[in-house]
Copies of this chain bind each other. A is one copy, B any other.
Amino acid sequence: MSERISRRKLFGMGAAGVAVAGAGAIAVRGAGGEPAPARAASTSDPVPFYGEHQAGIVTPAQDRLHFVSFDVTTDKKAELAELLQEWTAAAARMTQGQEAGAFGAVGGEPEAPPDDTGEALGLPASGLTLTVGFGGSLFDDRFGLASRRPAALADLPHLPGDALLPEISGGDLCVQACAHDPQVAVHAIRNLARIGFGRVSVRWSQLGFGRTSSTSRAQATPRNLMGFKDGTANLKLEDVALLREQLWVGPDDGSGWMTGGSYLVTRKIRMLVETWDRAPLAEQEQIFGRDKGEGAPLGGKAEFDVIDFDAKGPDGEALIKDDAHVRLAHPSHNGGARLLRRGYNYVDGSDGLGRLDAGLFFIAYQRDPHRQFVAVQRSLAGKDSLNEYIKHVSSGLFACPPGVRDAGDYWGRALFS
């Protein structure tokens, strides 16, 4: 486990101290050659930044999210590559609890703006991970990258029930910041946006709280804003063979620069919580196909019981209806497709119609979004009885490159070099 260096401890340390902290932060590898999954020992500790895969995918889901999508405003490929190098250096520092730049908010020249905006001074690393993705629009004719666009990054099709708002969808680049302290996540996104001034512009951004999935068996399953446990059947970091099959892009998948990466789908799913809250308990449980208290599949007793889709009640009717969410989303219904979800609940104030503007910011990683997310969502969007209560208002698809190996590497190097 890397040494914990808080921003407060770094006050007054020179470049030598910073270099030591950087060396300490290299990911520890497991004995069998398989990299140990990046994970923090406590909610204040740092998560290793360097590794085969980007942190923030199988990392045990932290409690808070700040997600941002950027439009690239320069049309020079070299400037874009330079930005990714600067971002990588800043991310390597911030994820270890250091300030964004070497001269911080307090150590700089009085006549220059500080390198760091300062609001995380004194806060620990807080499990911060920063995960970068490239949108399909980055592969248009601006940067000469069209031939490098992976087939898996083809635009998502229109799906039944989509009510997408273009101004909060898509984007050339994305950064997912997850941390146990929202101030730390916000600080990281803000400083990356600041470093990008003149080269990128914030397209949309989303805060989230209350992670709605577990990505490790060590985590309890959390609840979404419908009050149900969410993500019981999620892919988890312990499923190493399944992750190779379902999550990580392999060397034979067509785009070499994505080997070790993963595809990210984001969907902002507004929930009409006021309407949901007027539905009877039995109806809510039938819609999900699980009981609300334990999260057990109907007909079962405990959350992780194997789902019996053939179970019938005393009336001879199926306990899990044909349009129950748990049936439609199940791998057996979708050609075996699984997702690694790590979404967050959100409340964006109110909607001007007397209701809370609330729902789920859905985040899912996978090896091929067209075979995985699209299959599941087609199945759900056509029949899911949840549809009466939800609306997809934003969508994003991003290719998240492999991890940064060391201080000489940077996000997307294989694409840009």
Q: Which residues of A contact B (CB under 8 A)?
A: 11, 64, 66, 68, 71, 105-106, 108-114, 116-122, 167-168, 181-183, 186, 189-190, 193-194, 197, 201-207, 209-210, 220, 223-228, 273-274, 277-282, 284-285, 291-293, 345, 347-350, 352, 354-356, 358
Which residues does chain B contribute within 8 Å of A274, judged by CB atoms? 193-194, 197
Query: Does A203 contact B350, Cβ atoms closer than 8 Å?
Result: yes
Closest to A206 in B: B349
Most buried by B among A113, A168, A201, A220: A113
Contacts of A206 in B (CB 8 A): 349
Residues of B close to A226: CB separation below 8 A: 117-119
Residues of B contacting A183 in the complex (Cβ-Cβ under 8 angstroms): 209-210, 223, 345
User: B186–A118 contact, CB under 8 A?
Assistant: no
- Extra contacts besides A118-B223, A118-B228, A182-B209 (9): CB < 8 Å: A71-B354, A105-B227, A105-B281, A119-B226, A121-B292, A182-B182, A202-B355, A205-B347, A348-B348
A279 is contacted by which of B11, B113, B205 (Cβ under 8 Å)?
B113
A403 to chain B: closest CB distance in Å?
Answer: 27
* Cα distance, A277 to B191, chains bound together (Å): 9
State how many angstroms separate the Cβ of A8 from the closest Cβ of chain B: 10
Contacts of A348 in B (CB 8 A): 207, 348-349
Structural contact, B121 and A350, CB atoms closer than 8 A: no
B227:A280 contact, CB within 8 angstroms:
no
A350: chain B residues within 8 A (beta carbon): 68, 202-205
- List 8 tightest A-B contacts by C-beta distance, closest first: A118-B227, A201-B354, A106-B293, A110-B282, A183-B210, A182-B209, A202-B350, A205-B350
Chain B residues within an 8 Å CB radius of A278 = 113
Q: Is the CB of B210 within 8 A of A121?
A: no
Determine whether the beta carbon of A108 is less than 8 Å from that of B182. Answer: no
**Chain B residues with CB below 8 A from A209, complex form:** 64, 182-183, 186
Cα(A55)–Cα(B284), bound, Å? 35
Q: Is the CB of A204 within 8 A of B349?
A: yes
Asked whether B122 lies within 8 Å of A220 as measured between CB atoms, the reply is: yes
Inter-subunit contact B354/A281 (CB<8 Å): no
- Least CB distance, A11 to chain B, in whole angstroms: 7
Which residues of chain B come closer than 8 Å to A189, judged between CB atoms?
356
Q: Which of B106, B227, B280 contacts A111 (CB 8 A)?
A: B280
Query: Could you jot down 11 A-B contacts, CB within 8 Å?
Result: A108-B281, A117-B227, A117-B273, A117-B277, A118-B228, A119-B210, A121-B292, A182-B182, A186-B345, A197-B274, A203-B354
Cα A119 to Cα B225 in complex, Å, equals 6
State whether A190 touches B356 (Cβ < 8 A).
Answer: yes
Docked CA distance A109–B356 (Å): 26
Q: Complex formed: what's the CA distance from A197 to B275 in Å?
A: 11
